[in-house]
Amino acid sequence: MAATGNRAAIFLPHACWQFVADCAFVYRFAFMSSALPSTGASIWLLDSRSIDLAQLTQYETWLRPAETVRYARFVRPLRRQQFLLGRALLRAAMGEMLGVAPEFIALEERAGQAPLLLSPPDGAHFSISHSGPWVACALSRDT
């Protein structure tokens, strides 16, 4: 990890993830070892303009059947991509926090509500948000 002032750079397989914690920005580029806090909150940001088709295809495989049905119903391409990348970002961030592969993070769709974390049972609290090309996910082990 490289740091200057309150900015630090670490590396991850996803070229476009940003992780923000304790007022420090951590940009993720290529490869990294785990650097997430085990307590407190973390915020992950994703600029969807840097995601390619191969990554989208991979993230689609992480969706559970009910999520896949909802994903297929989106008519607007931007909203469809925001949904997929929100779920992918949540799974990647939570997987990193808990030491679990993203595809093993199970979510349940709930009509008119945020998704419910089914597995792992000791997961973090979370919130997903999006605006234009940006997708964000906040995680906390505490409420």
Residue 101 pLDDT class (50, 70, 90 cuts): very high
34 pLDDT tier (thresholds 50, 70, 90)? very low
How much is the pLDDT for 84?
95
- Predicted pLDDT at 123: 79
Q: Coil, helix or strand for 88?
A: helix
Q: How far is CA 87 from CA 10, 23, 60, 99, 114, in A?
A: 22, 24, 9, 17, 11
Please give the pLDDT value at position 81: 94
Q: pLDDT tens digit string along 39-60?
A: 567 889 998 888 888 999 999 9
Query: In the prediction, which pLDDT does 41 show?
Result: 79
For residues 79 and 33, the model is more confident at 79
Please report the sign of the dihedral spanned by the C-alpha atoms of residue 123, residue 124, residue 125, residue 126: negative
Given a cut of 50, whether residue 104 has pLDDT beyond it is: yes
Interacting residues of 5 by C-beta distance below 8 A, sequence separation 6+: none
Determine the pLDDT at residue 143: 63
What per-residue string of b and e applies to 122-143 under the rule 16 or more CB within 10 Å gives b? ebbebebebeeeebbbbbbbee
Cis upstream peptide for 120 (omega within 30°) = yes
Stronger pLDDT, 19 or 15, i.e. the higher one: 19
| 3-class state of residue 137 by DSSP | strand
93 close to 129: Cβ distance less than 8 angstroms: no
| pLDDT at residue number 22 | 34
Give pLDDT tens digits for 112-132.
888 888 888 877 889 999 999
Distance of alpha carbon 16 from alpha carbon 37, whole angstroms: 20
Residue closest to 128 by CA, chosen among 120, 118, 119, 116: 116
